[in-house]
Amino acid sequence: MRWIGWLFGRKRAQGVPDARRPHEPVAAERLPGTFSMPQDEAGDAGEHWTVRLAAMALPAQAPAPDPRLLPEVEVALLQLVHERARLPRRPQLLPQLLGLLNDERASGRQIAEVIGRDPALAANLLRLANSPMYRVQSAMVESLDRAVALVGTEGLRQLVAVALMQPVMRLEGGATGSLPERVWEHTELATGLVARSASGRGRDAVFAAQLLALMQGLGAIMVVQALRDACARLQCQAPDATTTAELLQRWARRIGQGVSRAWDLPAVAGVQDVAGVASLEALLETASSAAVDIMLAGSEAAAG
Domain boundaries, the chain: 75-303
User: What is the predicted pLDDT for the residue at 25?
Assistant: 34
Q: Residue 275 — very low, low, confident or very high, per pLDDT cuts 50/70/90? A: low
User: What is the predicted pLDDT for the residue at 35?
Assistant: 43
What 3-state class would DSSP assign to 105? coil
> Burial level of 138, CB count in 10 A (0-12/13-18/19+)?
exposed
User: Who contacts 85 (Cβ-Cβ below 8 Å, separation ≥6)?
Assistant: none
Across 200-207, average pLDDT: 82
User: What is the predicted pLDDT for the residue at 33?
Assistant: 38
Least confident stretch, 36-45, 225-234, 243-252: 36-45
Report yes or no on whether pTM surpasses 0.95.
Answer: no
User: What is the predicted pLDDT for the residue at 266?
Assistant: 57
Across 164-180, average pLDDT: 78
Across 9-25, average pLDDT: 31
Assess whether pLDDT exceeds 80 at residue 98.
no
Assess whether pLDDT exceeds 80 at residue 175.
yes
Q: What is the mean pLDDT of the chain?
A: 77
Hey, which of 33-37, 96-100, 232-236 has the most confident mean pLDDT? 232-236
**Contact call for residues 226 and 73 (beta carbons, < 8 A):** yes
Which of the pair, 257 or 224, is modelled with greater confidence? 224
User: What is the predicted pLDDT for the residue at 171?
Assistant: 67
* % pLDDT > 90, the chain: 33
Assess whether pLDDT exceeds 50 at residue 13.
no
Q: Residue 23 — very low, low, confident or very high, per pLDDT cuts 50/70/90? A: very low
**Contact call for residues 168 and 118 (beta carbons, < 8 A):** no
CA distances from 147 to 123, 196, 213 (A): 11, 18, 23
User: Who contacts 199 (Cβ-Cβ below 8 Å, separation ≥6)?
Assistant: 206
Least confident stretch, 7-11, 37-41, 124-128, 207-211: 7-11
User: What is the predicted pLDDT for the residue at 170?
Assistant: 67
User: What is the predicted pLDDT for the residue at 167?
Assistant: 66
Which of the pair, 147 or 52, is modelled with greater confidence? 52
Give the whole-angstrom CA distance, residue 145 versus residue 223. Answer: 37
Amino acid at site 10? R
Which of the pair, 203 or 144, is modelled with greater confidence? 144
- Domain made up of 75-303: CATH architecture: Orthogonal Bundle (1.10)
